[in-house]
Amino acid sequence: MTVRVGVIGVGTIGEDHLRRLTQVVAGAEVVAVTDVDLDRARAAAAKYDVATVHLTGQELISDPEVDAVAVCSWGPTHEEYVLASIAAGKPVFCEKPLAETPEACERMIEAEVSAGRRLVQVGFMRRYDRAYRALKDVVDAGSIGAPLIVHCVHRNPTVPGYFQSESLITDAAVHEFDILRWLLGEEITTTSVLVPKRNRHGGDLQDPVMLILEMDSGAIVDVEISMNIRYGYDIQGTVVGEDGTAALGDQDAVVVRLAGGTTSPVAADWRERFSRAYDVEFQEWIDAIAGSGVPAGPTTWDGYAAAVVANTALEALRTGTRTSVKLVEKPALYDQ
């Protein structure tokens, strides 16, 4: 079975996912695209040979030719499109963050619970990354003992123009919030945010920030978010256990020793670092839809939990205090 996909938003990541769905992923066909910038949508449709350009996202979602929807537009637009997809009974992949507020995520949970089945998958692609999967295998095997401390580094060379100080938490650190819950299999319970001296490349932006997170088990996590570090895009993670440590390796890195020095490459951006993770993410999404019809990846609940942690960390940033994460009761739908 070929899954006929409609893509909403063909900006930086939307066009990359459009390419992926048309040229890399098996079993998918992109039959429609839209973007609030219609010229961009028309150009993307021409480039990737997509039959239909819709004037709006709502029109695309109700198109009977569209079996499943990929939402790749800006964060504040996600809620409207995810709710419409659930109402239409269509599986929907939504880029992170699922929504800007926990309340918006709760409305999606309510809609899905009323529909009685899971339709939403959130674009937390790190769960599909080879190095993160290998790290989780080590943690789950128990050989390093119980995790006590996790060190995370999330560095970007430059920052998108629309970024504000809050975005370091809601747009960047939201990946750590999800991957830590997945990696350790437990919830984040408190957040604190430290505000170091600012990077001179960041202007008024509070960049970097350091987050301290406490996990349900008592493990403690530190997360560095840097958005203007220039040298490259660098994601690091080390789990310190009772008997040993496990760290993400550099993927495909060749180390060159030459002329009195040692060099190994650093990715230019997230597209390069996670390119294969995005491929696997979409292949598994399409396979699940074509198979059981139920997406197997990060759920609406996962998007909600990450949004609550982000909101809690924003409060910690504003108040300078350690703040507690409060989740609503998890519906049984998300235990399946």
Binding site for ligand ISE (CB under 6 A): 156, 171-172, 175, 270
Stretch that binds ligand NAD, among 66-74, 139-147, 150-158, 248-256 (CB under 6 A): 66-74
Compare residues 96 and 107 and give the one whose CB is closer to ligand NAD. 96
Q: Which amino acid is at 238?
A: T
- The string of DSSP codes covering 47-70 is HHT-SEE-SSHHHHHH-TT-SEEE
Neighbours of 172 (CB within 10 A): 21
Measure Cα distances from 315 to 225, 303, 325 in Å. Answer: 17, 19, 10
Complete DSSP assignment for 289-315: HHTTSS--SS-HHHHHHHHHHHHHHHH
* Exposed/middle/buried for residue 280 (C-beta within 10 Å: 0-12, 13-18, 19+): middle
Nearest distance, CB of residue 184 and ligand ISE, angstroms: 20
Stretch that binds ligand NAD, among 7-15, 83-91, 149-157, 200-208 (CB under 6 A): 7-15
Residue 172 contact among ligand ISE, ligand NAD, none, beta carbon within 5 to 8 Å by kind: ligand ISE
- The least CB distance from residue 60 to ligand ISE, in Å, is 23
13 binds ligand NAD (CB under 6 A): yes
Q: Is 171 in the site for ligand NAD (CB under 6 A)?
A: yes
Question: Min. distance of Cβ 139 from ligand NAD in angstroms?
Answer: 22
Cβ–Cβ under 8 Å, residues 98 and 304 = yes
At how many degrees (to 10) do helices 12-23 and 38-48 cross? Answer: 20
Which residue, 246 or 308, has its beta carbon nearer to ligand NAD? 308
Using the rule CB under 6 A, is 264 a contact of ligand NAD?
A: no
Q: How far is the CB of 276 from ligand ISE (least distance, A)?
A: 14
Q: Point out the residue whose Cβ comes nearest to ligand NAD.
A: 11
Q: Whole-number minimum distance, CB 190 to ligand NAD, in Å?
A: 25
Rounded distance, CA 125 to CA 147, Å? 23
- Judge contact between 190 and 323, C-beta under 8 A: yes
Binding span for ligand NAD by CB under 6 A among 6-14, 217-225, 251-259, 291-299: 6-14
Distances (CA, A) of 26 to 122, 284, 287, 292: 20, 10, 9, 17
| Contact call for residues 312 and 172 (beta carbons, < 8 A) | no
Q: Which tokens is 121 given?
A: 């998958």
Residue 79, binding choice from ligand ISE, ligand NAD, none, Cβ under 5 to 8 Å by partner class: none
Residue 36 partner contact from ligand ISE, ligand NAD, none using kind-dependent CB cut-offs of 5 to 8 Å: ligand NAD
The two three-digit tokens of residue 179, written as one number: 């991957």
- Residues within window 77-106 making contact with ligand NAD, judged by CB under 6 A: 77, 95-96
List contacts with ligand NAD (CB under 6 A): 8-14, 34-37, 40, 57, 72-75, 77, 95-96, 123, 125, 171, 270
